[in-house]
Structures are given as C-alpha cells and as structure tokens.
Amino acid sequence: DNRIVSVRGDDDDVFSKGYVCPKGIAIADVHHDPDRLRRPVRRNAAGDFEEISWDEALDLVAGRLGEIRAQHGSNAIGFYWGNPTGNNHGALLMLSSFTKALGTRNRFSAGSQDANPRLVTSYELYGSSISIPIPDIDRTDYFLCLGGNPMISNGSVMTAPDMRRRLRAVRERGGKVVVVDPRRTETAKEADEHVAIRPGGDAAFLLAMVRVLVERGRVDRRFLETRTSGWSEVERRLAAFTPARVAAFTGVTAETIERLALEFADARSAVCYSRVGVCVGRHPTAATYATDLLNIVAGRLGREGGPMFTTPAFDIGRVARMSGLDGHHRWQSRVRGLPETLGDLPSTVLADEIETPGQGQIRAMITLAGNPVLSAPNGKRIAAALGKLDFMVSIDIYINETTRHADVILPPCWNLAEDHIDLLFNAVAVRNIARWSPPVVEREEGELADWEIMLELAERLGGGPLGEPWLDRPLRWLRPFGVRWTPTGFLNLILRLGPYGDRFLPWSDGLSLEKLKAAPHGIDLGALRPGVEQRLFHKDKRVHLASPRMLEAMAALERDLEARAGENGLVLIGRRELRSNNSWMHNLPSLVSGRERCVLYVHPDDAARYQVRDGELAILESRVHRGEVRVAVTDDMRPGVVSLPHGWGHADSAPWQKVAGSHAGVSVNDWVDDSVVEPIIGQSILNGVPVRLEPLTSSSLTFHAGTPSRPDV
C-alpha cells in the first residue's frame, strides 16, 4: 500500500556506518503526514484553499506571472528558495534555468541568512565561492570550533555523521577539542575546553591569535611566500589586534588567547572551524576571513589534519561556474543597495522590495520549499508584505506561515518518491564519497517532482532546462522522439566527465551512474587530498589575502573595538536543535514530543538580575518586537546572553499544520532588526541582538506556550 514500515541506518554504508539522526528516522512521518499537500490548491473567493488539476494550476500560474512580467517587467517577480532545496538534486539543478526563464534579479534564499560570509570569503581568497576548506576531522590533533555545534548539526559545511564518535576519536589519539561559544553547547560538553566568548567577538579573537603567531615566529613563511599574495599588508593591519586590546571586546583574557594560539601552532596537526553562530553575528565576513587566515598563517591549509579541499564526484562548483552563478557584488537590490551573492540578494531586503513603489517593485512572488516569515529577520513585516502582492505561488508540501499567503500552492512529490544523488552535502564532506539512492515509494497518481514543476513553468514562460535558447530549442524539437532532459541524466554526464569518471571510454573502470547504481552502500573515493592548487581559481593560482573587501571587513572590526568594548547589556542569540530542521519538520509528532523546546535560556545571574523564574513566562523586547517567552534557567549560558532556538512560531499555520500549531513556540527572528546589516555583504545580524528582559506582569497579555521545562543538560 506504498507505506513506509520503518527507517533504519545502513550499517554497510561507506560513510554513515549506520548512523542516522532523529530527523532521518522521521522522513517516514513526512511521507504519511495527513497535512502534507498531495494536489495543487487555489485560494477561492472566500479565502479558502480548494484543489484544482495540475494543468489548470500550471496554466494559471504561468498566465499570471506572464501578465505581471509583461506589464511591470521581469524584476516585478520575486523568487525565494529554502533550505530543503539543498537536499534535492533535481531542484538544485533547475534553479539557475528557472530564474533565467523568469528573467528576474530579485532572487532570495534561506542561505543568505548564514552562508554568504563563507561564500564571499572563499571567492575573495580562492577565486570561487565553492572553494571551501573542510576540516579533516578524522586526522586532526587539534580541533578549534567557533560558533558551530556539529554534535547537533552533524557538521554544517562539514558533513560528518556521528560527530560524537569523531570528536572522541580526536581525544583518544591524544588530541584536543576546544569550543568557543557564548553557550556551553552539546559540542562544548564533549570538548576538552569551552571558552565562553561574547557574541560578536569571534573575528577579533581569531585575529589576535594570528597576531600572537606573528609575534612568536610561528608563521609558515614558505607557504605565505609561494602560495599567497598580500601578506605584508595583512601583517601590517594585524598590529591593531593585540590580545590585550581585544580582551574587553571578546570577554576572553589575553592569556587565554595567547595560550590557545600557541597550542594551535604547536599541535602536530590542527584546524580552525567556524560556522553558523559566527556567520550570523557581528562582523561575520571578518570572522570567516580570520578563520581561514589563522589556518593559512599557521601552515595548516591543504595539509592532513587541517582544513582541506574536497574532490567531489559531482563538482557543484564547476556547475556554478559554468552557469555563471559563481561570484558576488555583480548587482545590488533596488532598495538599500545590498549586494547579491551567488545570484541571491539578502533576504533582509525582501519586505522593502515588495513595499517600496517604483520600477522593479516586486508584485508577484514565488517560493520554493521556503518559509521566510520564520527564516528571515522581522518576519511579521514580511508576512504583512506578502499580503500586499498582486499574485503569489508556492512550490511546497505544506501550508505554512509563508505559503498561507499564496494564491496557488503546487505540492511536489515527497523526496522518497524520487531517486537521490547528494550534490551539496557530499561536496563539503570530510571524505570523498558518491552514492545513488533509488526511490523508496511510488509516486501517487499525477504527482510531479519539484524540478518538473519548475520545468513546466519555465517552458510556459519561454525557458527550458538548460537556461539558454540555443540549447533548449533542440531539446523541445527532440521531445516527440523520447529525448527528455532529466537532472539525473545531466548528473551522469557530470559524473562521467568528473575527476573519477570513465570519460565515456569503454575500457575505463571510472565512475558512471550505472556503476553507482550497482553500489547500494555508496562508493568511498578516499580521504581528503593534500594540496591547494586544485581549488585555487585566481589566474595567479595564489590565495589573495589582501582582498579589498577582506581588508574593509578588518577595518570595520577595528573601528568597532573601542566603540563596543564597554557594552554590557543583554543580547539574544539563536541555537540549533537535534530534533529540528529549521522551520519545516515541526508537524511530526516524533520530533516535537516531550519537553517544550522553544524556551529562552537564561543564566542564573541574569534570572536574578531581571527577576524572571525558571519555567515561567517573561517579556523579551528588542527595538522591533516585544513578546512573551518561556524561561529556562541554565548555567550553560554566558552571563549577559540569552538564547532562543530558530524555526519556531507556528501559531499562524495551526489550521493547516495541526501538530506544529499545537507546539507553536515563538520566532526568534521577530526580535531581529532587519535594518541592521553587515556592511560588506548586506546580511542581517541575527546573533547578538540587544534585548531587554522583564517578568510578566498581571497587565500583560499571556498565551499558552506548553509545559515548562529545563534545557537538556
């Protein structure tokens, strides 16, 4: 009856070794979820959603988009794609062609909330946004982790199943794990040392470490001279970042900074890794740059146990360069002039682009597996803006806080009804692997995959799968003869022409899709390879340390050192959870059962100072929002810092997602000021938001938020 009976890990898988996280187990629940949409729906005159046929839905959507484009221009159409797209090779490969068919530059993504500092830094240093150094965690002797929680994420931009085992292995071979984070995270509890830094202090902390290496003569001069450019200018600017000067800014003593720097330099192998907590805080570009700078100056880049470049079987960096996506700052948003990165504008300007009249104002919106009302800053403003559109269509399996504003929702089949080849996460994995997974269930009658929905709309709007008329036209001519573009077929081409491919030579034993299909547990292509040449795309084949934008980021940080060193007000940060996948898996009982998790972590000293109590409601206020939160008192927090998890706030989707609605929580991004952005890349500052905390009084309007609970300890 096409039902999934159970989900379990594959003990013979070459990479996971049978490890599976709770979200992986829950994919069966998504398949069976009665609230998941199976057929297109349209909003009727009464404001309710009613089912319609696929042909009617696709014709209606293409017709309305075409009308708006003809009347107001291509940029009157906005497009937002969300995190689940990264798990879907078909949708990923259609993104560029789909937006080319629309003709719009008003493209936004969930990745613009936390990925752009990494992408821009990689492009400036190495010549490609996709040249991302990955920690060689399985061979390192010193793992320095800032703002990441790989015990929960399984390695964000460091795909590594079963991080608990991998972190313990570092220690078992005599190494050390150090976590720098305002919260004692699950990863910090596994570490040898936890450094409770002030939010926003990461870049200064790291640059001070580099300064120590320079002063103590622990610099890899040979690598700097033969593989980099601009070191002398960077070295000169490091003079401003002494450990003593940055101590007040970071909340970390000069002695600790100096000790950690020397430990990092003296270890047989070492890697510095920074991720979401750093990339959404103040100075995220400077912090990401400083992460790479420390690795480079200490002679760790491209060496075993350090940060290394992957050699993926499916090179998405090559695809990005071929399609013209790779790059940044090639155009700016109409309002506020914020720059694009990899073709996407910062989501913080989405509401402005809808609300502000003039040529290029967004009048129609398309969302693909995205929920910006919860994922982007000041989501209540975005929700109000979506309600003002002339037309909106969502490609999504749920009616959620964002898609409830749509005129039409086009639900793709669930991922388990499609074959799967991991493009994104294998490209940033700690080993080179390749795997093809067949469909697990059959599609329901009439269902389309998301890439097919995008292709149907693109062709109705004059585009095609390859995004170039001279290539798409012959494909249309050949369709009556059974010739059809598919993402899996395209990937077979990329695979066979890739670094492990058979090059279409009959006598070659290289990879092909056929060979992948014959290996149900995947194919291990080996450990990460030493060297940097293969991922340097500047013409001179050097790492450009003195990129003007990186120097600008350093200068902005230096100006901030004195301005903010004495600040001691309360600030808000987010956090990641093991049983959450951003905003979209909270309708599954298996993932939301048990204690309430959308609670505000508060240090005991702050609880006493602000007169709030464990398990009770309190008022949290920022410049843009005032609302109620449930308090959980814990000494895991640094004093002066409070924390809410992201992805919650489901009250508005309660009629359509019953489980999520009954565990609504609050959206941390409601407290984020969308007018405050990092000047280099225009990204919102989601961590370190100034807030005020006060006890709930009898005059406050209360709401039921569930059963009080303490955080996991």
Q: Helix/strand/coil (H, E, C) string of 381-447?
A: HHHHHHCCCCEEEEECCCCCCCHHHCCEEECCCCHHHCCEECCCCHHHECEEEECEECCCCCCCCCC
Mean pLDDT score of the chain: 95
At residue 605, the pLDDT reads 98
Question: Which pLDDT tens digit goes with each residue over 390-438?
Answer: 999 999 999 999 999 999 999 999 999 999 999 999 999 999 999 999 9
pLDDT of 704 > 50? The answer is no
Rama region for 615: left / alpha / beta (φ>0; ψ in -120 to 50; rest): left
Helix (H) or strand (E) holding 693: strand 692-695
At residue 565, the pLDDT reads 64
At residue 568, the pLDDT reads 80
Question: Which pLDDT tens digit goes with each residue over 606-650?
Answer: 999 999 999 999 999 999 999 999 999 999 999 999 999 999 999
Going by CATH, does the domain composed of 568-695 fall within 3.30.70.100? Answer: no
Going by CATH, does the domain composed of 132-311+533-556 fall within 3.40.228.10? Answer: yes
CA distance 273 to 206: 11
Percent of the chain at pLDDT > 70 equals 97
At residue 477, the pLDDT reads 81
pLDDT of 93 > 90? The answer is yes
At residue 2, the pLDDT reads 85
pLDDT of 710 > 50? The answer is no
pLDDT of 140 > 80? The answer is yes
Quote the tokens at residue 376.
């982007």
Tally DSSP H helices, then E strands, for the chain.
27, 28
In the chain, where does the domain assigned CATH 3.40.50.740 lie? 22-90+102-108+323-416+430-513
Question: Which pLDDT tens digit goes with each residue over 11-39?
Answer: 999 999 999 999 999 999 999 999 999 99
In the chain, where does the domain assigned CATH 3.40.228.10 lie? 132-311+533-556
| Residue 564 pLDDT grade (very low, low, confident, very high; cuts 50, 70, 90) | confident
At residue 707, the pLDDT reads 36
At residue 377, the pLDDT reads 95
| Residue 567 pLDDT grade (very low, low, confident, very high; cuts 50, 70, 90) | confident
pLDDT of 566 > 70? The answer is no
In the chain, where does the domain assigned CATH 2.40.40.20 lie? 568-695
Per-residue pLDDT, averaged over 324-345, amounts to 96
Per-residue pLDDT, averaged over 691-696, amounts to 97
| Residue 713 pLDDT grade (very low, low, confident, very high; cuts 50, 70, 90) | very low
User: For residue 343, which of 553, 99, 137 has the smallest C-alpha distance?
Assistant: 99
Per-residue pLDDT, averaged over 457-471, amounts to 90
Per-residue pLDDT, averaged over 305-315, amounts to 97
| Residue 700 pLDDT grade (very low, low, confident, very high; cuts 50, 70, 90) | low
Question: Which pLDDT tens digit goes with each residue over 108-131?
Answer: 999 999 999 999 999 999 999 999
Task: Give the pTM.
Answer: 0.96
Per-residue pLDDT, averaged over 58-74, amounts to 98
At residue 705, the pLDDT reads 38
CA distance 116 to 526: 29
Per-residue pLDDT, averaged over 443-465, amounts to 95
What CATH number is given for 22-90+102-108+323-416+430-513 in this structure?
Answer: 3.40.50.740
Q: Which residue has the higher pLDDT, 456 or 322?
A: 456
CA distance 101 to 79: 12
